[in-house]
Amino acid sequence: MAQSKDKTLDIDILKRLFKYALPYRIKFIMAISTTLLLTALLPISPIVIQYTFDHYVAHGDLHMLVNMTIVLLTLLLLQGVIQFADNFLTNSLGQNIINDLRVQLYTHIIHLRIKYYDTTPIGTLVTRAVSDIEVISTIFSEGLIIIIADVLKIIVIIIVMLTYNVQLTLITLIPIPFLFVATYFFKRAVQASFQDERTQVARLNAFVQEHITGMMIIQIFNREKAELKKFQKINAAHRDANIRSVLAYSIFFPVVEILSSISLGLLIWCGGRGALQHITTMGDVLMFITCLNLLFRPIRMLADRFNTLQRGMVSSERVFKVLDTHEFIENKGTIDARHIKGDIEFKNVWFAYNNEDWILKNISFEVKQGQTIALVGATGAGKSSVINLLNRLYEYNKGSITIDGIDLHDYELSSLRKNIGVVLQDVFLFSDTLANNISLNNPEITKQQIIEAAKMVGAHQFIEKLPNTYDYNTMERGAMLSVGQRQLIAFIRAYVFNPKILVLDEATSSIDTESEKLIQNAIDILTKNRTSIIIAHRLATIQKADKIIVIEKGEIAEMGNHQELLKLNGRYKRLFDLQFKE
């Protein structure tokens, strides 16, 4: 993503961020109050030191020296307590805000339509939801509030120094302009390196996530060395971006130390000479030494604070870009789909993923309540696109789709999807228990219902043999189960949700003969008295279908039942002969 040249003080982003602080306004006000209180207390310590030396040490008053030391220690202890409160308040404020922001972002992400994920790397979204949002918290804990406090500290300390000795102040502050110039260049250098580093982090996350997910393919085709070279290149770019940042820090902090040493040297020379000439006092010199330390500390950190703020701005811009992405399936429907019968009609439906590169062309067919239809055809013919339109994962471009004579868009979206069960070829299981993968953590589905469904589908026997049975952890993507077992789990999942319409997408294409018998039995059970659409390569599984539709290049080539299509001696007959010839 192209970044703007400077987002350090983007007012629009700051306004938007501070809206998230409104629910925590009391904590926010308390954080500002402790910050201002610390600033107010800051010059008291050097003043106490100056007064103690000039009024008590110089006159040998040991009793008052002890008293003033106690005062000073009490003051420092008070500052420590307030510093603790300030750090806790600012950091907890930041954590509360990013907690709310992360929930909002995740909620937004899970409602984005599937088309958005077709063009957005998953690793990039992971970066936005995890590390980018974590960086945003530093705007509150280490950024804007602290920057304001540091600026106030600098102003207060300089005012105190000028109040006591204008000439000595002006002499000791001679290096300050050079320090501000160094700070400016440091800020720009780190800003550029950080923008590059965030880009490289997103690339790194996307690469690692994708390649760990596809590790089997990498190992099957012996691509470990080639993929390692790609990883090393991306990782090196990430390293170089960080090294540029490290280089800037390595130059800047020694420069600050040199300039602060020059300032201290000027103070000792001028202050010491003034003390010898009785123009200044030793208390003034000690106070100025303390003030210089208090002055250079925030100046030294100011550049780093600005870069922290910059990091937060860049990360905020990235997060808000996702939040501003309105890739949603429009949900203006009001009709509850719970009571649908299951009459489906596609009428002159056209669909394209991009522009007018049509995937489906003028598709028309009907499915009556309780009927089973099958879609067959070559890979890429458009079969899966038909079912993606039915549950509105994608929107069709032309024509109409109705259920029970009511347009698909008139149904409330979540209600519609609850009543259309889908069993995919590639079954996705989460790293969780078998029972939770079946119920998807729906509290309305009981353990007993899951067991009964497993028995109906024919999966109970193999589940009982697993360690912990229904509490068995399937691991990520169901890696601990076979393809056939994962497929049976998907059937149980569909069964317990009891949808009015069932869609089976290539549900028997990647399994062995024994598993196919079990799954065919599960299909018979699931499709009984339920409107069903089956996509299949294996024609043996669909011969009982009420209607078979042959799709070729996005168009309906033939339609009829098994016997009718065989008599046509066309495309279906050729597919049948290819699969069943001796």
CA distance 324 to 318: 10
CA distance 288 to 277: 17
Token look-up 């979540």 returns: 414
Tell me the C-alpha to C-alpha distance, in Å, between residue 353 and each of 27, 99, 109, 134, 529. Answer: 48, 35, 20, 35, 33
Domains and CATH numbers, the chain: 11-323 (1.20.1560.10), 337-580 (3.40.50.300)
Helix/strand/coil for 425: coil
CA distance 317 to 20: 15
pLDDT at 287: 86
CA distance 549 to 92: 60
**Residues with pLDDT less than 50, the chain:** 1-7, 582
Tens digit of pLDDT for each residue in 30-62? 988 998 898 888 888 888 888 888 888 878 888
Tell how strand 358-367 and strand 406-407 pair up: unpaired
Q: b/e per residue, 331-346, with b = 16+ CB within 10 A?
A: eebebebeebebbbbb
pLDDT at 193: 78
CA distance 560 to 47: 97
Number of C-beta neighbours around residue 297 at 10 A? 16
Residue among 543, 336, 482, 350 at smallest CA distance from 419: 336
**Treating both helix axes as pointing N-terminal to C-terminal, what angle do 282-323 and 224-276 enclose, rounded to 10 degrees?**
150
pLDDT at 497: 82
Tens digit of pLDDT for each residue in 255-313? 888 888 898 888 888 888 887 877 778 888 888 888 888 888 888 777 778 777 878 88
* DSSP one-letter code for 121: -
One-letter amino acid at 419 equals: N
Helix (H) or strand (E) holding 403: strand 398-403
CA distance 241 to 317: 20
pLDDT at 520: 74
CA distance 25 to 119: 39
CB-based contact 306:147 (threshold 8 Å): yes
pLDDT at 8: 52
Alpha helix (H) residue ranges in 277-369: 282-323
CA distance 410 to 220: 47
CB-based contact 486:478 (threshold 8 Å): yes
CA dihedral of 492, 497, 503, 508, whole degrees rounded to 10 = 0
Q: What size, in residues, is the chain? A: 582
Q: List Cβ neighbours of 247 (8 Å cut-off, separation of 6 or more).
A: 189
Tokens found for residue 528: 């009984």
Tokens found for residue 142: 């280490």
Tell me the C-alpha to C-alpha distance, in Å, between residue 516 and each of 484, 487, 513, 533. Answer: 8, 10, 5, 18
Kindly report the average pLDDT of the chain as a whole number.
Answer: 83
**Cα angle at 198 between 197 and 200, to 5 degrees?**
65
CA distance 376 to 401: 20
Strands of the 555-560 sheet, one edge to the other: 420-423, 501-505, 531-535, 372-376, 547-552, 555-560
Tell me the C-alpha to C-alpha distance, in Å, between residue 534 and each of 69, 402, 527, 555. Answer: 86, 18, 10, 17
Tokens found for residue 564: 């009718």
CA distance 431 to 50: 66
Tell me the C-alpha to C-alpha distance, in Å, between residue 164 and each of 57, 158, 291, 430. Answer: 19, 10, 11, 69
Tokens found for residue 424: 């995919």
CB-based contact 458:513 (threshold 8 Å): no
